[in-house]
A and B are shown apart, each in its own frame.
Chain A
Amino acid sequence: MKDKVDMDEYLEALWYMKENNNMSKAKLVDAFGDDYKEEILQRLINEELITLLEDKKEVSFTEKGEALARRIVRAHRLAERLLFDAMGMSKDFEKGACEFEHTLTEELINSICTMLGHPKECPHGLPIPPGDCCLKAVKTVESSVMHLSDMRIGQSGRIAYINSGNDEEMHKLNGLQVRPGAIIKLHQTYPAYVVECEGANVAIDEDIAKNITVWRIQGSKSDAHKTEPSLTKQKKSLWCKIMGK
Chain B
Amino acid sequence: MKQTDKTDKNVLILGLPNCGKSQIFSNLTGEYTLVANYPLSTINIKGAFCTVEGYCYNIIDTPGIYSLHIQSEEASMVREKILSGDVDIIVQCVDANHLKQSLSLTAELTQLSIPLVLVLNALDETARKGIWIDSKKLSYIVGVPVVESIAIKGVGTNRLKQAIETARLPKSPVIFGDVMESALSSIISFFPDSMRHRRANAIFTLLNDQYIEEHIEKIAGAKTLQDIKDTIADLKNRFQWNPAKLLSYTYSRWVDSVYDEIVKKQASAPQSFSENLAKYCRTPITGFPILIGIIIAVFFLVVEVADALTGFLEDLAWKPVEDYIKTVVIDRFWNDLLIGDYGVLSMGVAGAILTVLPILSVFYILYNILEDVGYIPNLTVLSKRIFSKIGLSGATILPMVLGFGCKTMATLTTKTLASKKERYIAIFLIAFAIPCAPQIGLSMSLLGKIGISAFFISFAILVLVEIITGLILNRIIKEDRTQVFIQMLPPIRMPNIKNIAKKTYYRLLEFLKEAFPVFILASLVLFTLDKTGILDALKVFLEPMVKGALGLPVDIVDALIVLLARREASVAIIAKMIEANMLDYVQSIVAVTLTTMFFPCVANVGSIIRMLGLRSAIVIVVVITISSVIVMTVANWCLRLVF
Contact = CB atoms under 8 A, between A and B. Distances in A.
Contacts of A40: none
A24 B384 CA distance: 50
Contact of A172 (B66, B380, B393): B66
A218 interface: no
Please tell me the size bucket of the interface on A: 35 or more
B69 to A, nearest CB: 5
A201 B486 contact: no
A237 B364 CA distance: 66
Interface stretch (A52-60, A106-114, A191-199, A228-236): A191-199
B486 A169 contact: yes
A92 interface: no
A173 interface: yes
A201 B98 contact: no
Contacts of B245: 123-125, 170
A205 interface: yes
A181 B66 contact: no
A166 B486 CA distance: 13
A105 interface: no
A171 interface: yes
Given A175-B67, A175-B70, A188-B282, A203 B244 contact: no
Contacts of A89: none
Contacts of B487: 202-204
B100 A126 contact: no
B484 A166 contact: yes
A192 B104 contact: no
A125 B382 CA distance: 34
Contacts of B275: 201
Nearest to B101: A177
B485 A201 contact: no
Interface string B231-265: 00000010011101100100110011000000000
A167 B245 CA distance: 9
Contacts of A190: 283-284
A168 B248 contact: no
B97 interface: yes
Contacts of B104: 174-175, 177
Contacts of A16: 240
A181 B489 contact: no
B304 to A, nearest CB: 33
A167 B72 CA distance: 12
B491 interface: yes
Given A124-B240, A173-B486, A201-B275, A188 B283 contact: yes
A228 B380 CA distance: 37
B488 A191 contact: no
Given A174-B104, A175-B105, A188-B283, A203 B66 contact: no
B381 A188 contact: yes
A174 B68 CA distance: 12
Given A124-B242, A126-B240, A168 B71 contact: yes
A25 to B, nearest CB: 16
A138 interface: no
Contacts of B97: 199-200
Contact of B394 (A173, A176, A205): A205
Interface of A: 16, 20, 123-126, 166-177, 179-181, 187-188, 190-192, 194, 198-205, 207-208
24 contacts: A16-B240, A126-B242, A168-B70, A169-B484, A169-B486, A170-B248, A171-B248, A174-B248, A176-B66, A181-B252, A181-B256, A191-B381, A192-B380, A192-B381, A194-B282, A194-B381, A198-B98, A198-B101, A199-B97, A200-B98, A201-B491, A203-B381, A204-B394, A205-B485
Interface of B: 16, 66-67, 69-72, 97-101, 104-105, 129, 131, 207, 237, 240-242, 244-245, 248, 251-252, 255-256, 275, 278-279, 282-284, 380-385, 393-394, 418, 484-491
The 7 residue pairs across chains A and B that have the minimum distance between CB atoms: A175-B66, A125-B242, A201-B489, A191-B384, A205-B485, A203-B487, A192-B384
